[in-house]
């Protein structure tokens, strides 16, 4: 796919190790899983590598996983014992990690290589259904702990050339992430209102307005009710920056997620 410009994606990744589960909890994510299968189908050919900006990794400044054989990070609680021994066995790609670092440095953005970082569930929860063969190299990029929207948008712009090099750039988070309100009706209306703002911003607004609205996301309806802490939103800034002025589209939209929440995923760029 090196001669094809790949789109970028922001994926609402769901809860814990859901692809490795069965039963009622697993069925909560049927629509999300179908959207990932559709995503694979629309990409037609497999990418040469995958770059994931995960809402589950924060550092003092950007960090990039650079190990050749990443391990696993079980960053969830309360699940069955066997779910702490699962393995997503894709290799890393040290050469891509160095390329990412060089692109960020060229934009004046500090970034460190981390040869010990494993796959967190922001990464393996989406890649298990998307590429179950586990044979595409994967590199993760952390968030900068400042959560500065402009910094992350700028980082995305710096990484945009990778799209022409066969690298699939994915921001993994959740369009609504208020853990305290997820288990009852308090989250239903804020998630709906914030999702409506996302739809208007990412799909319908002109590209210049899209960037401005994203950088001012805290002024959106129910912004802080939807994201008391914005770790699961900031990956969106990176993939939107990497998309530049290309159009946005909805790839997943569910209004009864976890019993009544609204959640969405988005693609930026045309499918060629």
- What is the CA angle 199-149-75, rounded to 5? 85
**Per-residue confidence (pLDDT) for residue 269, from 0 to 100:** 94
Torsion of CA 34, 18, 49, 10, to 10 degrees: 60
Q: Is the pLDDT of residue 82 over 80?
A: yes
- Distances in Å between the alpha carbon of 57 and those of 102, 109, 232, 253? 20, 17, 10, 25
Q: List the alpha helices (DSSP H) in 84-206.
A: 94-106, 121-130, 149-159, 188-199
CA distance 147 to 237: 10
> Quick check: is 224 in a domain?
yes
Residue 264's pLDDT band (cuts 50, 70, 90): very high
Q: Is the pLDDT of residue 257 over 80?
A: yes
* Residue 177 in tokens: 């992430």
Q: What is the CATH classification number for the domain harbouring 81?
A: 3.40.830.10
Query: How many structural domains compose the chain?
Result: 1
The pLDDT tens digits of the residues spanning 223-249 come to 999 999 999 999 999 999 999 899 999
Q: Is the pLDDT of residue 35 over 60?
A: yes
The pLDDT tens digits of the residues spanning 167-205 come to 999 999 999 998 877 778 888 999 999 999 999 999 999
**Per-residue confidence (pLDDT) for residue 44, from 0 to 100:** 86
> Quick check: is 252 in a domain?
yes
> Quick check: is 121 in a domain?
yes
> Quick check: is 210 in a domain?
yes
Q: Is the pLDDT of residue 21 over 50?
A: yes
CA distance 49 to 21: 26
Which of the residue ranges 34-38, 91-95, 124-128, 186-190 would you say has the lowest mean pLDDT? 186-190
Q: What is the mean pLDDT of residues 151-178?
A: 97
> Quick check: is 244 in a domain?
yes
> Quick check: is 64 in a domain?
yes
> Quick check: is 1 in a domain?
no
Average pLDDT across the chain, whole number: 95
- Distances in Å between the alpha carbon of 225 and those of 118, 186, 195, 198, 260? 31, 9, 12, 14, 15
CB 263 within 8 Å of CB 250 = no
Which residue carries 């393996």 as its tokens? 124
Domain limits at 259? 8-268
Residue 3's pLDDT band (cuts 50, 70, 90): low
* Collapsed DSSP state (helix, strand, coil) of residue 218: helix
**Per-residue confidence (pLDDT) for residue 249, from 0 to 100:** 97
Percent with pLDDT over 90 in the chain:
89
- Distances in Å between the alpha carbon of 172 and those of 96, 143, 169? 19, 11, 10
Q: Is the pLDDT of residue 2 over 90?
A: no
* Collapsed DSSP state (helix, strand, coil) of residue 257: strand
* Residue 163 in tokens: 């799209």
Q: Can you give the pTM of this predicted structure?
A: 0.96
């Amino acid at each position: 796919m090196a001669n094809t410009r790949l789109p970028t994606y922001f994926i609402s990744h769901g809860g814990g190790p859901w692809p490795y589960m069965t039963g009622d909890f697993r069925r909560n994510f049927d629509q999300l899983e179908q959207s990932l299968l559709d995503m694979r189908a629309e990409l037609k050919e497999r990418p040469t590598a995958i770059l994931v900006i995960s809402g589950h990794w924060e550092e003092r400044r950007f960090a990039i996983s650079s190990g050749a054989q990443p391990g696993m990070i079980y960053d969830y609680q309360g699940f069955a014992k066997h779910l702490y021994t699962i393995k997503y066995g894709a290799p890393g790609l040290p050469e891509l990690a160095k390329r990412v670092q060089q692109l960020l440095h060229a934009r004046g953005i500090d970034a460190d290589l981390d040869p010990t970082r494993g796959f967190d569930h922001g990464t393996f929860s989406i890649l298990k259904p998307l590429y179950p063969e586990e044979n595409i190299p994967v590199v993760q990029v952390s968030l900068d702990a400042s959560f500065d929207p402009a910094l992350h948008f700028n980082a995305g712009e710096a990484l945009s050339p990778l799209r022409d090099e066969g690298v699939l750039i994915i921001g993994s988070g959740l369009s609504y992430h208020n853990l305290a309100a997820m288990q009852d009706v308090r989250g239903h209306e804020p998630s709906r209102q914030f999702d409506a703002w996302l739809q208007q911003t990412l799909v319908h607004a002109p590209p210049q307005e899209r960037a401005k609205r994203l950088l001012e996301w805290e002024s959106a309806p129910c912004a802080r009710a939807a994201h008391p802490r914005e770790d699961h939103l900031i990956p969106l800034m990176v993939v939107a920056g990497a998309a530049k002025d290309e159009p946005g589209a909805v790839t997943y939209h569910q209004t009864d997620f976890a019993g009544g929440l609204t959640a969405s995923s988005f693609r930026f760029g045309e499918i060629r």
